[in-house]
Amino acid sequence: MKKFIASAVGVGAVGVALPVVASGAAFASGGERCGKAAIEYSLNDGKTWTTAGRMDDALVTKIKVRLKTPVENTCEYAVSLASYSTEGPTWAKSGKQTFLGWDTTKLSRDQREDTLDVSAFVPKCFGQVDLYGNGKKFDGTENPLPKYPNGVFPNDLITAWNGGEKCETPTTPPTTAKPPTTAPATSKPPTEAPTTSAPATTSAPATVKPTSSTTAPAAGGGETTPPQGKPEVPPVTDIAPASLAQTGGDSNTSLIVGVSAGALLVGGAGALLWSRRRNSGGTPA
């Protein structure tokens, strides 16, 4: 009977130790998946918020952004604001764009709101301002410049503005011309030459070409619907690292569990050996 009890103790120790080790390894391999996040912005320092896909009113170069819905623990979302000078007041007539400056931030559960400011990079004439959902700089060096009709962030655009006024061409002051200096002319008596009358010639009637009502298209292309932004941003990474609250512990916890399981195995084996030696008449060590 004692031998059976000792054997049960050893087997029980092994049975307890194995689930503890297995559960610790499985529970530590967790991770959360980051999806797109809804976002809204404010053009008046947080007094009102909007999700409009275009900024068609006056130029605003300081925009407050915030996450509209809760997000997972360690997920991050990049939002950027860029300013450009253009050759025309609309997207279709923007022509060559020149990068002026940008600002970027990362929103998360701990920082749900921030302000982006490109006030130091205001377009002087025609311009474009883009608010978009990634952390790339589209300056023509690190990444390509916007160029009609292909936008560089068609899937990440939150909102945009096109407009401005044509730059005035500087006028050159007129130069004062000095009158030419001429020598006095010497008058000679006129010489009369005999005149001969030539027969009159009949001129052919002039051919008038019909005017065409068709005019050449204006440079820069016609008006088209500008791109509309979406009030959402993708995550910086698809899968965020698991936090301690999700894994149930860290490496120290796993080490403690492993040592405890080993102690149970050694104790169970020792008890079994002691029981067998006692029943066979031997002296326990």
pLDDT in tens, 90-116: 999 999 999 999 999 999 999 999 999
- Cβ proximity of 259 and 265 under 8 Å: no
State mean pLDDT over 250-264.
43
| Max avg pLDDT among 21-30, 123-132, 271-280 | 123-132
HSE-CB at 178 with a 13 A cutoff on CA atoms is 3
Residue (of 164, 161, 163, 140) closest to 152 by Cα position: 140
State mean pLDDT over 175-182.
61
- Cβ proximity of 109 and 73 under 8 Å: yes
**258 Rama sector, left if φ>0, alpha if ψ -120 to 50, beta otherwise:** alpha
Please tell me the predicted confidence (pLDDT) of residue 38. 97
In this prediction, residue 260 has a pLDDT band, given cuts at 50, 70 and 90, of: very low
Question: Which pair of structure tokens corresponds to residue 18?
Answer: 């194995």
State mean pLDDT over 12-16.
42
State mean pLDDT over 80-92.
96
Tell me how far the alpha carbon of residue 35 is from its chain's centroid: 16
Global pTM exceeds 0.75:
no
User: Is 179 or 104 the better-scoring residue by pLDDT?
Assistant: 104
Task: Tell me the pLDDT of the chain averaged across its residues.
Answer: 72
Give dist(CA 206, CA 227) in Å, integer: 54
Q: Which amino acid would we find at residue 165?
A: E
| Max avg pLDDT among 26-35, 143-152, 215-224 | 143-152
Residue (of 144, 59, 70, 157) closest to 107 by Cα position: 70
Question: Which pair of structure tokens corresponds to residue 285?
Answer: 């060590």
Helix axes 251-279, 2-27, angle to 10 degrees: 170
Alpha helices by DSSP H, listed for the chain, are 2-27, 244-247, 251-279
> Checking DSSP bridges between strand 37-42 and strand 62-67, what pairing results, if any?
antiparallel
